[in-house]
Amino acid sequence: MTDVTETPPLSDTEPATSHQPMTHFKSFAESTAEDWAIIGPQLANTQALVADKVIEQLRYLKHDHGGFPVDRLEHSLQTATRAERDGRDDDYVVCALLHDIGDNFAPYNHPDIAAAIVKTRVSEANHWMVQHHGIFQGEYFWHHIGLDRDTHLQFVDSPYYDYTREFCAKYDQTAFDSDYKSNPLEHYEPLLQEFFAPK
């Protein structure tokens, strides 16, 4: 017998929040406290879908290599795998896995995308590392494209300077090896579900 309290599975075309109560104002200016009492709790429903959206976006990175020796998903997995095998904790590994997730949303400022996604869930050090990794990664190639590879030096007084430089040195700039055996995305899915679960 079907458990009537169970939330029915969603179809591809059904909005994820279709079973939740809705408000009916036409502008924020006319919304009421009662409206916001309906909306507020539903933020957790949206948060519950974040891990699936993140995994979907990571899968999409498989389809883009941008000229690099490995596709963008493999680079992400390889960065995370290298960090995990080096004994880094779960938050750090998630940051490593997601650091380039914005590559095809904002190619010229992609660190901002990942930094925003992890911001409320990681330490200030990990957030700073993700947000600034692009400039630190520049140490390894910017001199080839007419940029200053020492741009990272502007942050030398930051408490997170060495931490971020180490991330690029050990895990990010090394993660383009097509012979490396990275963990599959499925290995990280439970970790992502736990990381993004509503609190």
Total residues in contact with Fe ion, by rule CB under 5 A: 2
Query: And the tokens for 12?
Result: 């591809």
Site string for Fe ion, 164-183 (x = CB under 5 A): --------x-----------
Which of 41-49, 59-67, 95-103, 186-194 is the region at the interface with Fe ion (rule: CB under 5 A)?
95-103
**What string of DSSP letters covers 62-114?**
GG--TTSSS-HHHHHHHHHHHHHHTT--HHHHHHHHHTTTTTTT-TTSHHHHH
Is 6 or 179 the residue whose CB approaches Fe ion more closely? Answer: 179
Q: Are 42 and 144 in contact (CB under 8 A)?
A: no
Q: What is the DSSP string of 134-196?
A: HHHHGGGTGGGTTS-TTGGGGGTTSTTHHHHHHHIIIIITT---TT--PPPHHHHHHHHHHHH
| Least separation in angstroms between CB 94 and Fe ion | 14
- Shortest Å distance, C-beta 63 to Fe ion: 17
Residue 3 DSSP class: -
CB of 103 vs Fe ion, minimal distance in Å = 7
As measured in angstroms, the least distance from the Cβ of 91 to Fe ion is 17
Distance CA 142, CA 149 (A): 5
Of the residues 58, 84, 95, 100, which one makes contact with Fe ion according to CB under 5 A: 100
In the complex with Fe ion, the residue whose CB is nearer, 69 or 198, is: 69
Find the radius of gyration of the CA atoms of the chain.
20
If binding is defined by CB under 5 A, does position 74 make contact with Fe ion?
Answer: no
In the complex with Fe ion, the residue whose CB is nearer, 66 or 159, is 66
74 vs 172 by CB, closer to Fe ion = 172
Indicate the residue among 84 and 172 with the shorter CB distance to Fe ion: 172
From 24-32, 98-106, 116-124, 163-171, give the range in contact with Fe ion by CB under 5 A: 98-106
Cα 32 → chain centroid: 34
Binding stretches for Fe ion (CB under 5 A): 100, 172
